[in-house]
Amino acid sequence: MDADIFDQFIDQLGRYVRERLIPAEKDILESDVIPDAIVDEMRELGLFGLTTPEEYGGAAMTIAQYIRTIRTLSYAAPCYRSIVSINIGMVCSALKNGGTEEQKAEWLPRLAAGEIASFGLTEPGSGSDSAAMQTSAVKSGNGWVLNGTKRYITNAPFAKVALIMARTNKEALPKNAHVSAFIVPLDTPGISVGSPDKKMGQAGAHIADIIMEDVKLPADALLGGEEGRGFALAMKSLDNGRLSVGAAATGYARRALDSALRYANERKAFGEPIANFQLIQQMLADSEIEIYAAECMLEDAARRADAGENILRKAAAAKVFATEMCGRVVDRVVQIYGGAGYLAEYDAERFFRDARIYRIYEGTTQILQLQIAKHMLREWAAQA
C-alpha cells in the first residue's frame, strides 16, 4: 500500500478505535459478543483483507504496515483483533504461500471480504508437537476423509471455513512431512462445533472445539494440492501470527499504560497526585521503556519479513518479548491503581486478565525459547 494512503488509513483507524470501538467495550463485556454492526463496519474498513493482494480484493499491505495496523487496532479490546487476525495472519498467509491458483481465486476474495476463518492446529493431546497429532486424513476415491478433534480454535463458533492440519501418514516423518493442510468449509457434513469455552478474559473473542467425524472432502481441499507441506505452511504463517500477537500485546500495553498515567494524575494521596511519587514514576518509566523496545523489535522483524528474510527466530523473539512485556506492564498498572486495581469496575483488572493469554497462544514462551535456542545451536554447529 502506498505510504501516504497508509498514513491516512492509520489516522482513520485510530479515530475509529477511540470513537467507536472503545465506547462499545462495555456492552461487549456484558454480552461477550461483538455487535454485528461493528463487524460489518470492520468489513467495510477492509480490516479482513489487509495483506491480501489487490487482485483478490485486499489492501496489499506490507507486513510492516500490517503489524502497525494491528498495533493501532489493539489499543481497543482484544476481541477486535482476534476476529480479523486469523483471516489475515494465518489462513490468508497460508493460502498466499502455498495455495493453488484455483484455491487462491476461490478463497482469498471471500476471506478479504470478511468471511470469518479458523486455523485448526491444536488438539486435546497436541499443540506444537506434530508427532502427537491425531486428526487424520485418509484418501478415499478422488477425495479425503477427515477424523479428529481440534481444540481452543479461535473464531470456531462463527467461522465459515477452517484450515485444518491433519496427518496423511501414520508415521512421523522428517520435517513434519506427515502433516498436510486442508481447506474445510465448516458446514460440511460430519463437522460439529462445540460450545464456546468460558475464559479468563478477552470477552467477545470466542474459542471452541471443532469435531470431525468421517468428513468427506474433495481432492482440491488439500492446500497446494500436495501432501506433506501442511505443517511447514502452518509454521510459516505462524511467523505472521506471532508478530500479530506481539503487536496486539504491545498495543494493549500502551492502552494500559495510558490508563495508569491518567489514574496516577487523578488519584491523590497525602495531598498530592500519586504521579508525583518517585516509585510510581519508576513503574511508569519502566513500562514506557519496555513498550518502546517491543515496538522496535516488531518493526525490525516485520521489515526483515518484507525483505524476504527467514524471520522464524526473530518473530519468535519479538513475540516472547512483547507478550512477556505486556504481562509486566499490566501487573504494574494494577499496582499503580492500588486496591482499585483489584476491582472489576476499574479497567486495570480487565487489562490484567486479558493480557495473560498472549504468553500462551500461537507458541508459548517456553516453546519459543526452545525453538530460538535450537536454531542458535544449529547455526553454531554449522559454523564450527
Q: Which residues are catalytic?
A: 362
Burial class (CB in 10 A: 0-12, 13-18, 19+), 34: buried
Q: How far is residue 15's CA from residue 176's CA, in Å, rounded to a whole number?
A: 44
Q: How far is residue 96's CA from residue 74's CA, in Å, rounded to a whole number?
A: 25
Place of cell 526483515: 304
Phi and psi, residue 88, nearest 5°: -80, -60
User: 206, 207, 131, 211: which is closest to 164 by C-alpha?
Assistant: 211
DSSP 94-154: HHHHH--HHHHHHHHHHHHTT--EEEE--BTTBSS-GGG---EEEEETTEEEEEEEEEEEE
Report the run of H or E that residue 217 belongs to, with start and end. Answer: strand 207-217
Q: How far is residue 210's CA from residue 135's CA, in Å, rounded to a whole number?
A: 11
Cell triple for 97: 504461500
Taking each helix axis from N to C end, the angle separating 312-337 and 347-355, rounded to the nearest 10 degrees, works out to 150
